[in-house]
Structure 1
């Protein structure tokens, strides 16, 4: 379909019911897709202290709940993330712990519980190789854990730099560079110059360099890893860019610079943004809506521009807390999670 013609719509495929409280986050298993014969798998986590695993049927194409992960966390599960191999699921909870779950045949088993944060763990993220895990908390800290054999984890670094609640951590998709954002209105970039794992804050993206003026809730990268989108309580999405070619070739850290700001598309806090592999940015917000944006292919290299592809009003009955594109190259879906307790599966389709 020609996205620039904007003759597309977001079609609701299925509503997934089961959580008894708000759903905070959704995460697609990165190795599940019909293309290689495996079934798409989605995890969702909730204020009901559980994580649900949803799987699509190859025959009916409908999703059903295949597992409920419970009895490990005693409070809200705020974030969940699959390891790159798809074998492990990490869950971050307001009980101050991070759970590590392994799919053992037909059931999931909690094989490790990571403790150390003083209070609520808000987000969890694996690096591209699956050798490190990052967590962040209301205690203002970011932790990096080394992933050891036999499902063991060792805290390698405790990073201090944020002055308020850290809302999200996100590893770069190809390099061991860590990003964090939070209530202090900033995005911080953490990098180790050599292999000793001594991570330092090498850049802070804040209001002084065209950054956000209020809480930053989310971070996502494009497939190439040279652009980043952030979303905020200031009702904007911001696009950032970096010359990562030099970093990949060992030339040192390449700073991120502000490219453009998308404003006027949501009228309440933007809680989530996710960049698809085919370059579509989805956003979900407290106005109950979802927006999709695409590169408008502006002729001027100096003036990158992204335009609204479509807006889905009342995608949910309450705040949209999380949006995430599925990883498959074909039959791509968008999953959304909401305060209304629902997970929804969407598909982008050409209008009839």
Structure 2
């Protein structure tokens, strides 16, 4: 049976600017988007349509690069090129700016919440990764600054169940961090990509990590706990003609989606009969002209299997259904 990606909706999310990133809340009912217009928009479903529910503005002075929902869904964090991260609190159907996290020397490229909701990680063009602790009074304190990369850090992502953090950088490397004796340290550095690593995504178990790179490949890394290492067990090459800007592993189905600078969106599936230590992934579906310009982000809905959102330099959000063709 062949799968396909069918377009359900196209939203003019950030007209006249890039739409950099999109993030679903934990219930899959709201989608946050951010862009070069310094604005965050919150989208929700009304009947068969997706509409803008809220516009969050006046918090950032420059491009908003990433947004991330807290696990409880009551907070939204936004990372900006103005070197700050803003924390928004949901109140009824609106949002208010709760606090602004400062400290990075320049552009904050990514922000992500730990599964507990008690930790937040940010990364920056200043080559550092910061971990922030959140207390019950909504106070945020930086508990560590990690300087394991030699270049701009593009992306940070938490393990789905553990307080283990991964980061990707312009230095072509991936770093894995864990807390040891009340101190965070880099446990492993993953070498393999030959150019900038733009994005990372853990699978549902957290035992595997996908990475997308400027070298036009996606690599699958597997954890080998016995020797505290991660090893590349598969490389997807020959599918993308330009930079792979984002990868997203669907926690419900195991499908792997990619966003590419060639304007395309692709979905890969693992051969169920392949060896976990030598997995084989095949291209299950693709839309070569998914957007008019670079595709920056792919995001699977956490509750509705096969529902995929993408966004692009063209300012649009597209919502797709990945399913078997009838």
If the TM-score is normalised by the length of the shorter chain, which range does it land in? over 0.9
Q: Distance in 1 between matches of 2:19 and 2:66?
A: 10
CA RMSD of aligned residues (A): 1.3
* Counterpart residue number, 1:9: 4
Contact kept? 1:51, 1:68, Cα under 8 Å: yes
User: Are residues 1:203 and 2:177 paired?
Assistant: no
Unmatched 5+ residue regions in structure 2?
none
Greater strand proportion? 2
Alignment of 1:329-348 (within 5 A): 330=304, 332-348=306-322
SS of match in other structure, 1:99: strand
SS of match in other structure, 1:192: strand
Of residues 13, 17, 22, the one that matches 2:18 is 22
Alignment of 1:231-242 (within 5 A): 231-242=212-223
Alignment of 1:138-177 (within 5 A): 138-177=125-164
Contact kept? 2:222, 2:277, Cα under 8 Å: no
TM-aligned CA distance change 1:302 to 1:105, over 3 Å:
closer
Residue 331 of structure 1 and its aligned partner are, at CA, apart by 5.1
Q: Distance in 1 between matches of 2:127 and 2:3?
A: 42
Q: Distance in 2 between matches of 1:223 and 1:289?
A: 25
Once the two structures are superposed, residues 197-254 of structure 1 have per-residue CA deviations (whole angstroms, 9 ceiling, x without a partner) of: x111111111xxxx1000000000111111110000000000011145x7xxxxxx73
Contact kept? 2:224, 2:231, Cα under 8 Å: no
SS of match in other structure, 1:268: coil
TM-score (norm 2): 0.96
Once the two structures are superposed, residues 59-118 of structure 1 have per-residue CA deviations (whole angstroms, 9 ceiling, x without a partner) of: x22110000110000100000000000110000000000000111112110101000000
* Counterpart residue number, 2:287: 312
Alignment of 1:53-202 (within 5 A): 53-57=42-46, 60-194=47-181, 196=182, 198-202=183-187
TM-aligned CA distance change 1:299 to 1:137, over 3 Å:
closer
| TM superposition outliers: structure 1 runs of 4+ over 6 Å | none
Contact kept? 1:31, 1:85, Cα under 8 Å: no
User: Are residues 1:41 and 2:30 paired?
Assistant: yes
TM-score (norm 1): 0.89
Number of residue pairs aligned between Structure 1 and Structure 2? 324
Contact kept? 1:167, 1:217, Cα under 8 Å: yes
TM-aligned CA distance change 1:176 to 1:113, over 3 Å:
same
Residue 349 of structure 1 and its aligned partner are, at CA, apart by 2.7
User: Are residues 1:230 and 2:226 paired?
Assistant: no
SS of match in other structure, 1:96: coil
Residue 285 of structure 1 and its aligned partner are, at CA, apart by 0.5
SS of match in other structure, 1:149: coil
Q: Distance in 2 between matches of 1:332 and 1:150?
A: 37
Unmatched 5+ residue regions in structure 1?
33-39, 247-252
